């Protein structure tokens, strides 16, 4: 059975034609057949790309129908709010501990030593602020440097 065919005339650069003729010779086919194979491969690639795009759209659609972005955002927002409240509570507890510690020292320190205590408290707060401004990767090294911690504490 003979395929329906249509004859077309095309113009090729000499270099391109030479490459096609070499490939046709290596594949033991004529130049026209080699050109038809190239065209067929090109059409298949274009078809594959369209198929891949269609499959990607189906997957994206299925993913969105199972995991709606609004639902994911709502869960993340509620968890973020929960963490924010926990951090706030931790901050309040730490502040309470700080004021308790200050009150205890004020009870222990003699009246004539309050100025010295004020200086210690001031320096401690500056060191606390400096510590809180450190990046995460710096904190481990800072806390492991015992000599530096002792020097900072002795300066108080």
Q: At which residue do the structure tokens 């060191």 appear?
A: 127
In the chain, the percentage of residues whose pLDDT exceeds 70 is 97
Q: What is the pLDDT of residues 7-51, one digit of tens each?
A: 888 888 999 899 999 999 999 999 999 998 988 888 887 777 777
Q: What is the pLDDT of residues 125-154, one digit of tens each?
A: 888 888 888 888 888 888 888 898 888 887
CB 24 within 8 A of CB 31: yes
Q: What is the pLDDT of residues 69-91, one digit of tens each?
A: 777 788 889 899 999 999 999 98
pLDDT-derived band at 2 (thresholds 50, 70, 90) equals low
pLDDT > 60? residue 1: no
Q: What is the mean pLDDT of the chain?
A: 84
- Give the CA distances from residue 121 to residues 19, 109, 127, in Å, rounded to whole numbers and listed in that order: 84, 12, 10
Please state, in angstroms and rounded to a whole number, the distance separating the CA atoms of residues 63 and 47: 24
Please state, in angstroms and rounded to a whole number, the distance separating the CA atoms of residues 41 and 31: 15
Quote the distance between the C-alpha of residue 16 and its chain's center.
46
How much is the pTM? Answer: 0.41
């Amino acid at each position: 059975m003979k395929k329906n065919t249509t004859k077309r005339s095309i113009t090729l650069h000499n270099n391109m034609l030479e490459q096609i003729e070499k490939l046709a010779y290596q594949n033991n086919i004529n130049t026209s057949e080699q050109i038809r194979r190239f065209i067929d491969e090109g059409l298949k690639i274009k078809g594959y790309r369209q198929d891949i795009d269609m499959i990607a759209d189906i997957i994206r659609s299925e993913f969105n129908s199972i995991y709606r972005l609004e639902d994911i955002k709502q869960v993340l927002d509620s968890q973020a709010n929960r963490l924010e409240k926990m951090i706030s509570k931790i901050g309040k507890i730490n502040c309470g501990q700080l004021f308790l510690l200050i009150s205890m020292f004020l009870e222990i320190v003699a009246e004539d030593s309050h100025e010295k205590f004020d200086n210690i408290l001031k320096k401690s707060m500056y060191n606390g602020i400096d510590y809180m401004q450190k990046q995460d990767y710096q904190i481990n090294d800072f806390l492991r440097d015992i000599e530096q911690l002792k020097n900072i504490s002795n300066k108080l």
